[in-house]
Structure formats: structure tokens, C-alpha cells
Structure 1
Amino acid sequence: MLSASAVTGQFFIYSLVKEFGALVLAATMNMRQVLSILTSYVLYSHPITFLQILSLCMVFASLFYKSYLSYLKGKDKEPKSPGVVDKAIGKATPEEVTELKSAVDQEDDK
């Protein structure tokens, strides 16, 4: 049972990194730890200090900010609009394809 749990956990870790990146994995693992700590505080009636709450907020605010900056950086790399040739693929009539090809040829001549 322990081995099956470990394999399942590894599968989810690899798929999370593949789909969303290492930063999301780090945030997820930190969230899991925080929830575990908070659950312990609630179940066993441990006191939590203001400094501990402040520290948790600072850590998650910095992780969120770093994720947000990565998101903005990735968004800038995406193409703004499809190119002339991309518009012609699959949805253009033969006349439109000829017109687009001539436009591309004119661009190449410049």
C-alpha cells in the first residue's frame, strides 16, 4: 500500500511539473504543508502566534507574486496575432489563398 501511494504521488508530481512548471509544484507542496500545520493546530488545539501567521502570509504572498511575474513573462512570449500564412491554412478559399500568397511575396520583396 505504501509503494502504491508513493508511485501515485510521483505520477501526480511529474504531471504537475510537466503541465504547470516547477513553481506551481513548489506552491502546491507549500500549501500542503501549511494545511497540514493548520490541521494540526485545529485538531490538537495548539496555539498559533501572530508572528507565525505573519510569516505564512509573507511566504505565500512572495510565491504568488513570483508566479504572477512568470505568468506575465510567458504571456509576453505568445504571438499577438496569427501571421498571414497561418490565416490561410485550412479556412481560406482558393482565391483567398492566392491573394495571401501574393501578399507574402510582396512582403518578401521588401
Structure 2
Amino acid sequence: MADRGADEPLLERWAYRSVGPLKWEKDHRRTWGPAYEVDKPWTATIAKAGVPADTIMYAFRHSSIVRGLKAGLPVRLVAALHDTSSEMIEKHYSAFIVDATEELSRRAALAL
């Protein structure tokens, strides 16, 4: 994460380009792709982070969705940021939506 902007993807890997027969060189960084591409880098990442070996990537997505909802972001925005539907967010995260809605309501209410 050193020397990276706050808007850059969390997980990136090198993309290579061919510079001759059976010769490749690093070209640019890109986001991680399908699961088969990330097995080895993910294992190394969680080992370096010191988190349990059975930690799955999906846990980061889940945590990010919950943080967005708890921060009061609109459900549609949270869904778009995580490449999913509002319906999925509402179905699986309704408890967090209710908590966030109650908190927003409390902030807007007049103190008597």
C-alpha cells in the first residue's frame, strides 16, 4: 500500500508483455482477476498480514459493504460500489440498513 493513492484498488498484480520468444517483462499493474489467478498471491497476502489461513477474499467485500451501510451511504451506492444489486444488499444486510436508518433518523430528530 506504500506510495499508492487512496482511490487505487487494494489488490493488484503485475501484468506482463511478451518481448520475445518465451520472454516476458513486467508491463503494468492491474486488479486481480478470476479466482484461479489469485490463489498463490492470496495465500502469501494473508500470511504476510498475519490473519487466519482460512480468511477468504469475500470477507473484505462483506466488511466493505457493512462499513458503507454503517456510514449511512445509500443502499444503491453501496450496491454499485460492490458490483451487486440493491436487492441483494437489502436481502442480506437488512439489519445494518435498519441500524443505519435509525441512526440517521436520530441525528435528524429535534431534541426536546
Per the normalisation by structure 1, the TM-score is: 0.24
Query: Who wins on radius of gyration, i.e. which is larger?
Result: 1
Higher strand share: 2
1 or 2, which has the higher helix percentage?
Answer: 1
- State the structure with bigger RCO (CA 8 A, min sep 6), 1 or 2: 1
TM-score for the superposition, normalised by structure 2: 0.24
